[in-house]
Amino acid sequence: MFGAEPGRVLSIQSHVVSGYVGNRAATFPLQTLGYDVDVVNTVQFSNHTGYGYTNGHKTTPEQLAAIFEGLATNGLITHSRVLTGYVPGAEALQVVGVQIEKMKKDNPDCIYVLDPVMGDVGTGLYVSPDVVPIYKDMLRLATVITPNQFEVELLSGVKIDSLATLNAALIQLHTEHSLPHIAFSSIPLPISIVSTLSLPAPPQQYDRLLPTPHPPWFNAVGVGAPDEDVLVCFASSFVDGQLDTWAFALPTIDGYFSGVGDLFSAMVLAHFHPAQTSPLPALPHAVSKALLAVQQILLRTHLYSLSHAGPSGTATPRPFHAAPESVIPTDAELDSAAPLNPKDPRRKARRMRIRELRVVQERALISQDGVGWPGQRLNWSALLT
């Protein structure tokens, strides 16, 4: 048995042959930052499900157990960091949970980032309901979890419709599950509310990538109307019985993308260093660095898709400032504009392909030095009075 290796990551999540979600969205960025990544694929699909047509197979619980057994027999479970994402089905998730518990027992300092991939607002639950109690049990093993709004509400049992209910959900997760850190990836809030939190606007590194003037598909603090939404990310740690929460205001881009949460979780794992206290505590530092990379790659991907997507999804240059509906291809396009039969899966795939996260082409944005995305520590006492 080898000792724990500081730079070795075990990433357990989905795999697609074409595209950037799951392990495909996590592995290259982690490698770019110097990590040695061992990968367990919980599914192997041709592409992600956003394409409409997908083929492939799920890794069975027996196959997952066999993979872990082989690693253990050879003394190869030496990872100091673990990341889990999409796992299909309760039995498979139980196998993963047992393995994580063994790793944490052998190495209590192992950093475990758990992305509880279960669903999303507007979509609902897209895994079997019997995975929910297993995820709740696995929270006790996690160092950091990276849920979206739907998943926070599902795990905490608290419907988030105000800052007070957000506070209640965070406290419930921290205290009931002994969970030290929560990177709440995003929740849409009206700019009028976000403005009261005194959150900083996007940083200069991001602004320099934007077209001038700001295009109609872009909303941010200081840009959009008061009733328009921006996304807010929260980094919450439980320190000495108190919430230490930082908030980060994110731009809203009118477009469809997959794998953003997977990339975010990987970047949080990469930048999380438990002993760090300056210039930011460990979790807000990791979230800040993760957001800067993710938001810039997302913007560059969107600009690329706008400049290369004609009405039929072909590579026809279009202006950045045209009306969103004329440059963002959708399934409502006129059939007569399609070069392929409207029912041919390649028609939608052609459009989806240009929206894949450009993690390889924009790899310089992953490893850039300097400060991260600006945030603000929240004064809960003042906000809740």
Q: Which residues contact 115 (CB under 8 A, 6 or more apart)?
A: 13, 83, 84, 85, 145, 146, 147, 261, 262, 265
Percent of the chain with pLDDT strictly greater than 70 = 89
Q: What is the pLDDT of residue 255?
A: 79
pLDDT band at 310 (very low <50, low <70, confident <90, very high): low
Residues 239 and 199: their CA atoms lie apart, in Å, by 22
Q: Beta strand 5-16 with 144-145: parallel, antiparallel or unpaired?
A: unpaired
pLDDT in tens, 43-52: 999 999 888 8
* Buried/exposed code over 128-153 (b: 16+ C-beta within 10 A; e: otherwise): eeebbebbbebbebbbbbbbbbbbbb
Fold for the domain defined by 8-308+354-383: UDP-N-acetylmuramoyl-L-alanine:D-glutamate ligase (3.40.1190)
As a whole number, mean pLDDT of residues 287-293 equals 97
Q: Is the pLDDT of residue 53 over 60?
A: yes
Percent of the chain with pLDDT strictly greater than 90 = 66
Q: What is the pLDDT of residue 339?
A: 55
As a whole number, mean pLDDT of residues 155-179 equals 94
Q: What is the pLDDT of residue 220?
A: 79
Q: What is the pLDDT of residue 297?
A: 97
Q: What is the pLDDT of residue 343?
A: 65
As a whole number, mean pLDDT of residues 236-244 equals 92
Q: Is the pLDDT of residue 197 over 50?
A: yes
Whole-model pTM: value is 0.91
Residue 262 annotated to the active site: yes
* Of the candidate ranges 4-13, 135-144, 251-260, the one whose mean pLDDT is the lowest: 251-260
Residues 239 and 281: their CA atoms lie apart, in Å, by 11
The strand pairing partners of 189, in sequence order, are 230
Q: Is the pLDDT of residue 367 over 50?
A: yes
CB-side neighbour CA atoms (13 Å) of 235: 25
Mean pLDDT of the chain: 88
Catalytic residue, chosen from 109, 130, 240, 262, is 262
Residue 100: its H or E element: helix 90-106
Q: Is the pLDDT of residue 252 over 60?
A: yes
**199: which DSSP letter?**
P
Q: What is the pLDDT of residue 341?
A: 61
pLDDT in tens, 312-365: 444 444 444 444 443 344 444 433 455 556 567 777 787 788 899 999 999 999
Q: What is the pLDDT of residue 2?
A: 65
The strand pairing partners of 246, in sequence order, are 235, 377
Residues 194 and 197: their CA atoms lie apart, in Å, by 5
Cβ proximity of 186 and 150 under 8 Å: no
Q: Is the pLDDT of residue 300 over 90?
A: yes
As a whole number, mean pLDDT of residues 108-120 equals 95
